Amino acid sequence: MKVATKTNYFTIEQEQTARFAKALGHPVRVAILQLLDSKACCFHGDMAEELPIAKSTLSQHLNELKDAGLIQGDITPPTVKYCINKANWALAKKLMNQLLT
């Protein structure tokens, strides 16, 4: 664990934990992650059919998860395919486990 300094009070781990927690702070995003974790990958259109939200709202939630690094997208017009970012997902689990134990 990195030692905090006066100029950077929070550790990298604390900042990353908070970023993941923020991304997980909405039930739609939790549902998206559960859906993606149960499949190898999923197309945007398929998710829109499985989740009770508009495609534009889904896109906003996907962007938040992508910005946090929890998912990754493969854009091949006209489709967009999303998958769990396995490395960051494992890191998120580790950091959350450390926080909650």
Q: What is the pTM of this model?
A: 0.85
DSSP string covering the chain? -PPP-SS--S-HHHHHHHHHHHHTSSHHHHHHHHHHHTSS-EEHHHHHHHSSS-HHHHHHHHHHHHHTTSEEEEEETTEEEEEE-HHHHHHHHHHHHHHH-
- CATH class (in words) of the domain with range 12-100: mainly alpha
Confidence of residue 27 (pLDDT cuts 50, 70, 90): very high
Does residue 4 surpass a pLDDT of 60?
Answer: no
Question: What's residue 16's pLDDT?
Answer: 96
